[in-house]
Amino acid sequence: MAGTGVLMLLFLVAHMLGNLKVFFGPEEFNSYAGWLRTIGEPVLHASWFLWLQRFGLIACVVLHGVAAYQLSRRDLAARPTRYQHRPPARASYATRTMRWGGVILALFIVWHILDLTTLTVNPLGKPHHPYENVVADFQVWYVNVIYIVAMLALGFHIRHGFWSAAQTLGANSRDRDRLLKVTANVLAVALTAGFIAVPVAVMIGVVS
Amino acid sequence: MTAATHGTTSTSTMKLTLRIWRQHSPEDGGSMVTYQIEGVSPDMSFLEMLDVLNEDLILRGEEPVAFDHDCREGICGACGMVINGRAHGPERTTTCQLHMRQFSDGDTIDIEPWRAAAFPVVKDLVVDRSALDRVIQAGGYITAPTGSAPEAHATAVPKEAADFAFEHAECIGCGACVAACPNGSAMLFTSAKVNHLNVLPQGAPEREGRVLDMVAAMDEEGFGGCTNSGECTIACPKGIPLQSIADMNREFFRAATKRRR
Amino acid sequence: MTTYTSYTVGDPIADTKAPDGPIAERWSRRRFEAKLVNPSNRRKHTVIVVGTGLAGGSAGATLAEQGYRVVQFCYQDSPRRAHSIAAQGGINAAKNYRNDGDSVHRLFYDTVKGGDFRARESNVHRLAEASVEIIDQCVAQGVPFAREYGGLLDTRSFGGVQVSRTFYARGQTGQQLLLGAYQALSRQIEAGNVEMHARTEMLDLIVVDGRARGIVARDLVTGQISVHLADAVVLASGGYGNVFYLSTNAKNSNASAIWRAHRRGAYFGNPCFTQIHPTCIPRSGDHQSKLTLMSESLRNDGRIWVPKAKADTRSPDQIPEAERDYYLERIYPSFGNLVPRDIASRAAKVVCDDGHGVGPGGQGVYLDFGDAIARMGRDKVAEKYGNLFEMYERITAEDPYSRPMRIYPAVHYTMGGLWVDYDLSTTVPGLFAIGEANFSDHGANRLGASALMQGLADGYFVLPATLNDYLARASHDAVEPDHPAVAEAVADVEDRLNLLLAIDGDRTPDSFHRELGELLWDECGMARSEAGLHKALDRIPELREEFWRRVKVPGTGAELNQSLEKANRISDYLELAELMCLDALHRSESCGGHFRVESQAADGEAVRDDKDFSYVAAWEFTGSGSAPVLHKEALDFEYVHPTQRSYA
Ligand SMILES: Cc1cc2nc3c(=O)[nH]c(=O)nc-3n(C[C@H](O)[C@H](O)[C@H](O)COP(=O)(O)OP(=O)(O)OC[C@H]3O[C@@H](n4cnc5c(N)ncnc54)[C@H](O)[C@@H]3O)c2cc1C
Ligand code: HEM
Ligand code: HEM
Ligand code: SF4
Ligand code: F3S
Ligand code: FES
């Protein structure tokens, strides 16, 4: 859980930074996308890194999802009878919504790949023109809604997930606890804001 | 803590509605049964309030409510019920040390047993917590046969380690952490013992085996996994910190990698 | 049922196992002379241990380590919850880590004197010797005793002794020591050497051909009555202070195991010796179910007083200095608030009986930290006593920083118990009693921090050595489960339970317990008089008769039935209480916790009578309804010479 979560998190940080290149215009962004396909050359063939990363990520998502499913099954089985009186939980909203947040993210990832990788559902769907595809995307209101909802879910998922992973991996300690919680919040806000910046920028016309 | 409003001269009493989980035996289905109780003094402990109810039930020819208790001073860990959805009730303490001044006249109070697959209900509010004993049996000790001990001052223990060990050794084994955890997980309980023993030089030789075996026993008993919800530590009457779980996880990874080598 | 209107005096009884010779060598000699059981033969012996407190837990773990097959019982759902868990203060040991002049001999001396010369010298010396090993053993188990910055063990002084020999783990010493024993026991359970029966209560002893060969027990969850046979039975079932209903003991602590063993032939030693602890939180009303101890360390800085006027209902801060009576400082100017437990308790009773008491029912005195706060500052006081203040506030909702605490004495410990010889064997061969269950090494009064020491000494070191000797000497043919003695014990238990269920009267078990407790507290509590004891001895049989006619126990015996458990225990208290009063009546001297109003000096000091009462009273049960027999064990003092205690 924690291992795959952290790997995906690392990818997302890079991915978000990459996405922000959208603000430097189509050339910059498209060449970045192109560069992605040349990483590792000449040791690796073109796009190998990308494929490695794709396999890695798919493995992560699948493993993470499977682990989440198994853990959830076990956890539900460990509390077969619920309490009659259920007061509001004292755990944070982020903590309580890990399962649903994860499901939203899973659905989003499928949509997102169909949208921007395979271009199946992309309104433009022009291969090798990611910038244009992205801009086309966020002209459509419901695509904006999908992305923004997903990004909010992501923020919550990370807010608890980052600290939780540190706790699970035993990386937390008395002195570090505060720092980790602050970092989790910063990461969550930065990633959410960073990702949302793109659709918002397209919507208000800063990027077009 | 409430101010000194009651105590020496409290005369006002309360009338309460209790909704209590009644279940005759492990096999029977149970249900919440409603009782009215009057004349409850704010100075009573929660269990004394139930004593009054039970005496009343006996005289009415009904079966009194079964609940576990013994020391009634917050140290044996026998008592425990979920009161209005909170393990041990609204205060951070044990049920026996909860006082009725925490409630108001006219309140309705819901009382349920600890709920977890690893804690089957025996009767009413009594559950079987022997799973916790088996987790200790799996490795929650230091092997020191009687008579084999070296002079106590032969090994100095840094005060910091001694204090750390003590703070974790304070766990009373009540199971409130399991009852409060949405996953019915016993991580807080198990980590308290692992940390108590693993930090001490005396505990070092069995350090790896202890954590691996205790965690394995915990899983075997049907406790859930930890998703770091933090409810356990809020319910824990002894204030075992959430950090304890991270510390145990670190011990676990350390032991797992060391064993493999 | 028994009715003791009188007693007869039988032959004196002697402790035949204690070796003589220089006191410091007796224990090693006994250990050397004790026969051993070949390690390969130990597995063939089964030993039953009833109780998992400090005494039972340590004994079970050690016997199992030695290779015996141990079958162990406790009534709680887990062996970790035995009442020993509640001990707060600490445990004594003659380590002399402070170089303050402590030694095994000094601990021995203090304990004999503290017990007001009613304990055996040999036993107490052995206890002091074992105290040293106990600390080593517990540290090796990982008991987190308090330590100093250098990493060495910290100690404090306790209970008025002049040396600092009390080891502690904050205010939870008993808890930590018990968890150490519980963990050692857990290791043996996992290894298959101990068969643990939690939530199982011993209800009778099986005696075959004059030897203890097993017990009858009830599974408290299913109600199943079962028979367990063995080569020896060890009772570690704790004290019987709960006979008073209100005490500092755990609610379910009981006398059933030792009382039923007594009925089967084990003599009962000094039943009237009970300790009343001076600093407990007073009861707040009729609903009170138990009393909570406040550590006696509070008396180091708190001042005890009552209003000079009777029935003064003003709040304490409204009572000017001149109208307060600091009675301990007034009566005992040199010791002041630090007089021993029995003296402080009695003085509180006297002022309250005189109408000066404070709080509900006038049953309380003030323990005031006002001066201490003024002198040391609030922070210093909080640092020293913070957790106790917090506990007090939780229970009473009063803030002890701004308002004096109210305290009152409460029943705390029973020095009496089954009579045992130096080997801890009762008068029934094969039946041993350890910890608070035996009449113990504390004489007529127990010093602070010494019960934990005794329980662990018995369980870790003494019993494992002496039990070997018994098992090696006796031959143990297997007892057939259908032996008539077994069937009889089972039938007795079943009849008793069925009778309790069948009465279907109109009073709750608790109502009888409360009534009995109040009677005992009044007449056989802090001060005992001939007239009062007669009154109690008249009333107890009536109450017992009423109990067997009017008690109401709902439910059946084939299920978890807490009312049945209670009623069953109360039925034993109703018999034990009578023996306590009889013992108190016959001992017309005052000694330790036993204060006979007839035996006091003009200034109110207790007067001991060594000429007539320097003995242990060992009572023999002779059957229901017939007078018990008193056997006296004379006490000799070779090393510590009896002196009259004086604290004025
Ligand atoms: C509040 C408090 C504070 C104290 N503080 C101190 C202190 O600071 N220092 C000190 O030295 N002493 C102290 N004492 C005294 C000391 O704690 C006890 O004397 C001692 O712990 C008794 O230990 P034990 O092993 O004999 O019995 P217990 O710990 O009482 O154990 C009795 C065992 O017997 C079992 N049992 C009982 N009856 C039956 C039955 N019929 N069938 C099956 N099982 C049965 C119980 O389940 C339990 O396991 C204190 C006592 C109290 C009440
Ligand atoms: C396939 C979609 C996903 C699902 C179903 C899912 C579900 C879950 C669940 C149920 C948990 C455990 C709950 C908890 O620890 O409180 C979890 C933890 C976590 N998730 Fe996800 N998640 C998904 C995607 C992601 C993504 C894309 C990331 C990347 C940022 C991520 C990062 C984390 C992290 C870091 C944790 C904490 C791990 C731990 O504490 O052990 N998850 N996830
Ligand atoms: C507004 C926010 C986002 C934008 C604009 C965005 C944009 C893109 C683009 C343009 C690509 C295609 C890159 C390429 O093939 O060259 C891509 C791929 C991808 N994105 Fe995003 N993304 C966003 C958020 C996310 C989030 C939140 C996740 C994960 C939870 C995610 C996961 C992925 C994955 C897994 C790929 C596939 C990578 C690959 O093809 O190897 N993205 N994204
Ligand atoms: S960790 Fe806390 S809540 Fe859990 S068993 Fe121990 S004391 Fe009870
Ligand atoms: S509440 Fe449960 S999920 Fe973990 S942090 Fe505590 S065990
Ligand atoms: S009864 Fe012992 S902790 Fe509550």
Give me the DSSP letters along C297-327: GGGGT-EEEEESSTT--S-GGGS-GGGEE-H
Residue in chain B nearest A98 by alpha carbon? B227
pLDDT of residue C160 exceeding 90, the answer is no
* pLDDT tens-digit series, residues A58-79: 999 999 999 999 999 999 999 9
Which of B213-217, C291-295, C641-645 has the highest mean predicted lDDT (pLDDT)? Answer: B213-217
Domain covering A2-203 assigned CATH 1.20.1300 in the classification: yes
C-beta atoms of B228 and A163 within 8 A: yes
* pLDDT tens-digit series, residues A94-144: 998 999 999 999 999 999 999 999 999 999 989 989 999 999 999 999 999
Q: Does any CB of chain B come closer than 8 Å to the CB of residue A175?
A: no
Neighbours of C114 (CB within 10 A): 25
Per-residue model confidence (pLDDT) at position C159: 64
- Paired with C507 in beta bridges are C551
**C367 alpha carbon, distance to own chain's centre:** 26
Taking the C-alpha atoms of residue B231 and residue B195, their distance in angstroms, rounded to an integer, is 20
Chains B+A touching (3+ CB pairs under 8 Å): yes
- C326-329 long-range Cβ contacts below 8 angstroms, 24+ apart: C327/C351, C328/C304, C329/C303
3-class DSSP state of B123? strand
Taking the C-alpha atoms of residue B58 and residue A83, their distance in angstroms, rounded to an integer, is 27
Chain A nearest C-alpha distance from B151 (Å)? 33
Taking the C-alpha atoms of residue A31 and residue A166, their distance in angstroms, rounded to an integer, is 36
Average pLDDT over residues C449-453: 95
Give me the CATH topology for the region B129-144+156-260. Fumarate Reductase Iron-sulfur Protein; Chain B, domain 2 (1.10.1060)
Average pLDDT over residues C149-171: 87
- Which of C 206-265 lie inside 8 A of B, CB atoms? 221, 250-252
Neighbours of C473 (CB within 10 A): 11
What strand order describes the sheet that includes B31-40? Answer: B31-40, B14-22, B108-112, B82-83, B86-87
Average pLDDT over residues C509-514: 98
Spell out the residues 6+ positions from residue C482 whose beta carbon is closer than 8 angstroms to its own.
Answer: none
- Which of A 26-65 lie inside 8 A of B, CB atoms? none
Q: Please answer whether residues B22 and B30 qualify as being in contact, where contact means their C-beta atoms are separated by less than 8 angstroms.
A: yes
- In 3D space, the residue among B92, B67, B69 whose CA is nearest the CA of residue B231 turns out to be B92
Burial of A1 (0-12, 13-18, 19+ CB in 10 A): buried
C-beta atoms of A78 and B184 within 8 A: yes
Taking the C-alpha atoms of residue C325 and residue C318, their distance in angstroms, rounded to an integer, is 14
> Could you give the residue ranges of the DSSP H alpha helices within C370-473?
370-376, 378-396, 451-456, 463-473
Residue C1 pLDDT grade (very low, low, confident, very high; cuts 50, 70, 90): very low
**Tokens at B225, concatenated:** 């996994």
Spell out the residues 6+ positions from residue A43 whose beta carbon is closer than 8 angstroms to its own.
Answer: none
**Tokens at C252, concatenated:** 């379910």
3-class DSSP state of C595? coil
Average pLDDT over residues C266-290: 94
Taking the C-alpha atoms of residue C427 and residue C212, their distance in angstroms, rounded to an integer, is 10
Determine if ligand 6 sits within 6 Å of the CB of residue B98: no
Q: Please answer whether residues C82 and C408 qualify as being in contact, where contact means their C-beta atoms are separated by less than 8 angstroms.
A: no
Q: Which residues of A touch B168 (CB under 8 A)?
A: none
Among this protein's residues, is C341 annotated catalytic?
A: yes
Taking the C-alpha atoms of residue C203 and residue C43, their distance in angstroms, rounded to an integer, is 26
pLDDT of residue C432 exceeding 70, the answer is yes
**Tokens at B176, concatenated:** 């409130």
State in Å: Cα C178 to ligand 1 middle: 10
Residues having CB closer than 6 A to ligand 5 are B 181, 183, 185, 187-188, 226-232, 242, 245
Q: Does any CB of chain A come closer than 8 Å to the CB of residue B230?
A: yes
C-beta atoms of B153 and C152 within 8 A: yes
Average pLDDT over residues C217-233: 98
pTM as predicted: 0.95
Residue in chain B nearest C150 by alpha carbon? B158
Q: Does any CB of chain B come closer than 8 Å to the CB of residue C311?
A: no
Taking the C-alpha atoms of residue B198 and residue A72, their distance in angstroms, rounded to an integer, is 30
C-beta atoms of B247 and A173 within 8 A: yes
3-class DSSP state of C277? strand
For B158, the closest of C151, C183, C189 (CB atoms) is C151
Q: Does any CB of chain B come closer than 8 Å to the CB of residue A75?
A: yes
Neighbours of C102 (CB within 10 A): 22
- In 3D space, the residue among C462, C498, C570 whose CA is nearest the CA of residue C133 turns out to be C462
Q: What are chain C's partners, defined as 3 or more CB pairs within 8 angstroms? A: B
Chain B nearest C-alpha distance from C552 (Å)? 7
Per-residue model confidence (pLDDT) at position B129: 98
pLDDT of residue A29 exceeding 80, the answer is yes
Average of per-residue pLDDT values in chain C: 94
Taking the C-alpha atoms of residue B148 and residue C184, their distance in angstroms, rounded to an integer, is 13
Q: Which residues of B touch A96 (CB under 8 A)?
A: 229
Q: At what angle do helices A2-19 and A141-168 cross, to 10 degrees?
A: 140
- Paired with C305 in beta bridges are C366
3-class DSSP state of C252? coil
C-beta atoms of A98 and B243 within 8 A: no
Q: Please answer whether residues C225 and C217 qualify as being in contact, where contact means their C-beta atoms are separated by less than 8 angstroms.
A: yes
- In 3D space, the residue among B176, B201, B200, B194 whose CA is nearest the CA of residue B249 turns out to be B194
Q: What are chain A's partners, defined as 3 or more CB pairs within 8 angstroms? A: B
C-beta atoms of A77 and B231 within 8 A: no
Task: Give nearest CA residue, ligand 3 atom 43.
Answer: A116
3-class DSSP state of C51? coil
Spell out the residues 6+ positions from residue A130 whose beta carbon is closer than 8 angstroms to its own.
Answer: A29, A30, A33, A116
State in Å: Cα B180 to ligand 5 middle: 8
> Domains in chain C, ordered, with CATH?
277-412 (3.90.700.10), 485-607 (1.20.58.100)
Average pLDDT over residues C247-269: 98
State in Å: Cα C520 to ligand 2 middle: 65
pLDDT of residue C625 exceeding 80, the answer is no
Average of per-residue pLDDT values in chain A: 92
Per-residue model confidence (pLDDT) at position C322: 95
Please tell me which residue in C341, C446, C608, C645 is annotated as part of the active site: C341
DSSP state of C117: T
pLDDT of residue C207 exceeding 60, the answer is yes
Looking at the CA of C228, name the nearest ligand: 1
Q: Are domains B3-122 and B129-144+156-260 of this chain identical in fold?
A: no
Per-residue model confidence (pLDDT) at position C335: 81
Task: Give nearest CA residue, ligand 4 atom 6.
Answer: B171
What torsion do the CA atoms of B39, B43, B48, B52 make, to the nearest 10 degrees?
A: -10
- Paired with C629 in beta bridges are C8, C620
Domain covering B3-122 assigned CATH 3.40.50.2000 in the classification: no
pLDDT of residue C284 exceeding 90, the answer is no
In chain B, domain spans = 3-122, 129-144+156-260
Q: What are chain B's partners, defined as 3 or more CB pairs within 8 angstroms? A: A, C
Q: Does any CB of chain A come closer than 8 Å to the CB of residue B85?
A: yes
C-beta atoms of B224 and A167 within 8 A: no
C-beta atoms of C136 and B24 within 8 A: no
- Which of A 124-153 lie inside 8 A of B, CB atoms? none
- Which of C 87-106 lie inside 8 A of B, CB atoms? 95, 97
Range of lowest pLDDT (C301-305, C485-489, C573-577, C622-626): C622-626
Taking the C-alpha atoms of residue C406 and residue C418, their distance in angstroms, rounded to an integer, is 35
Taking the C-alpha atoms of residue C457 and residue C59, their distance in angstroms, rounded to an integer, is 9
Give the residue ranges of chain B where pLDDT is below 50.
Answer: 1-9
